[in-house]
Structures are given as C-alpha cells and as structure tokens.
Amino acid sequence: MFFRCCLFFILCAFNSAGVAAEQKAHFQLAPAVCMVQNSDDVCQVDVNFEWQIKKAEDVCILRDQTPLKCWQNATEGRFSYKADVQFGTVYSLVNRKTGKQIASAKIKVQSSNTKSQRRRLRTPWSFF
C-alpha cells in the first residue's frame, strides 16, 4: 500500500513538471534599461521584442493592457516599437483568446543625475 501511494505521488509530480516545462516561453526585450538625464524626463527608445513559445497560439504583446502587435497561430515573433517611457514599464505576451499572460518583461528607467553622496566609512578624527 505504501509503495502504491509513493508511486502515485511520483507520477503526479512528474506529470505536473512536464506541464510546467511545456508552458515555458521565451520573451525578451532590448534594451531592458533606458537612461535619462533627470528622473522626471521621458525616455524615447526603440524597443526590440523577441518571443518564442512551444505550442502555436494567437498572442499579443501588450503595454498596460493596450495591444501593440498580435500574431495568429504562431510559435515565434519579432517586433520593433518606438516607446516613450518615463517609469518602469511592463510589457506582456498574452494569449489573445483567453487573456492569460504567457510571459512578461520590464524596461527600467534610470537617471544619470542622481545624488551620489557617499557616507564616510570612518570618523574624521580616526587615525586608522
């Protein structure tokens, strides 16, 4: 009896791991970081998307629930987009029929004009 229970759990774990591996997707955007002069500046950047999934689906790339580009019955795609980004922006690869998110990626905005004030590691009166 104990052997059957263990075998059942091992088979269930193996099957669920196979399903998780099946659903993995490759979704990448470049550049992932956009540099601006001041923290409230808008970054204008050409974003290149590349995606690949195992099973053909109808998918779209979304920015804040707004579709940018869609494909029908596809397993891979590439897309370029001129974006105005002020804060970190998340892009998602979503199944068009079900609305289920397959993968996501984010563009981070960094300011080159940050206050870089370092704290002294030792007190001014220290001899060491």
Confidence (pLDDT) at 13: 37
Q: Are 113 and 39 contacting, i.e. CB atoms less than 8 angstroms apart?
A: yes
Query: Residue 81: which residues within 8 A CB-CB, separation 6 or more?
Result: 46, 47, 49, 68, 69
Tokens 């998307």, located at residue: 49
Tokens 């970190």, located at residue: 88
Whole-structure pTM over 0.85, yes or no?
Answer: no
- The vertex-25 CA angle with 24 and 28, nearest 5°, equals 140
Return the SS3 of 119: coil
Confidence (pLDDT) at 23: 55
Confidence (pLDDT) at 2: 38
Confidence (pLDDT) at 38: 82
In this predicted structure, the answer to whether residue 15 has a pLDDT above a threshold of 50 is: no
Confidence (pLDDT) at 19: 37
The DSSP annotation for 58-86 comes to EEEEEETTEEEEEEEEEEEEEEEEEEEES
CA distances from 92 to 37, 78, 99, 109 (A): 27, 14, 11, 18
Confidence (pLDDT) at 18: 36
pLDDT digits (tens, 9 = 90+) for 26-79: 999 999 998 888 878 888 899 999 999 999 999 999 998 899 999 999 999 999
pLDDT digits (tens, 9 = 90+) for 82-123: 988 887 789 999 999 999 999 999 999 888 775 555 666 666
Q: Which sign does the torsion angle of CA 107, 90, 98, 80 carry?
A: negative
Confidence (pLDDT) at 122: 67
